């Protein structure tokens, strides 16, 4: 089946630093989505990307839909303690969503 490889698995950074994480796949996707999940809660949509090459920002977050349609990255600038959580990428194709394994972000004040 289609799988997404998300990296890194976890990150420990200092408040104020920038963060980058990415997802790659051997398959092409029509849509890339990035979610954040806090403990005990459902994932919250951060950014949705619908076109190859698309670069979209949401506050301090920026995500890009790779030109090959097989990858996407998420950047967080000037991280703050509330950025702590698990970030998931998701690809959509053939009426199905596929999820990465998540990137756990830890931010030290």
Footprint of another protein (CB under 8 A) = 30-31, 33, 35, 40-45, 48, 50, 88, 90, 92, 95-97, 99-102
Main-chain phi, psi angles of 84, to 5 degrees: -60, 135
49: nearest Cα among 60, 61, 37, 40: 61
CB of 51 to another protein, least distance (A): 12
Nearest distance, CB of residue 6 and another protein, angstroms: 8
Element (H, E) at 21: strand 19-25
Q: Provide the minimum distance between the beta carbon of 17 and another protein in the complex, in angstroms, as a whole number.
A: 24
User: 15 or 58: whose CB is closer to another protein?
Assistant: 58
* Local structure of 70: helix, strand or coil: coil
Q: How far is the CB of 2 from another protein (least distance, A)?
A: 12
Q: What is the token pair recorded at 80?
A: 């703050």
Identify which of residues 58 and 78 has a Cβ nearer to another protein in the complex.
58
Residue whose CB is less far from another protein, 61 or 90: 90
When the beta carbons of 20 and 92 are compared against another protein, the nearer one is 92
- CA dihedral 23→28→30→32, nearest 10 degrees, is 0
Separation between Cα atoms, residue 1 and residue 19, nearest integer Å: 29
């Amino acid at each position: 089946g289609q799988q997404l490889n998300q990296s890194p698995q976890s990150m420990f950074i200092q408040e104020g630093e920038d963060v980058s994480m990415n997802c790659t796949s051997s398959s092409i996707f029509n849509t890339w989505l990035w979610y954040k999940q806090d403990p005990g809660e459902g994932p919250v949509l951060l950014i949705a990307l619908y076109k190859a090459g698309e670069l979209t920002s949401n506050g301090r977050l920026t995500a890009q839909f790779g030109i090959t349609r097989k990858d996407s990255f998420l950047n967080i600038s000037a991280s703050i303690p509330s950025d702590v959580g698990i970030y998931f990428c998701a690809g959509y194709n053939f009426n199905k969503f596929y999820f990465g394994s998540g990137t756990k972000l830890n931010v030290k004040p």
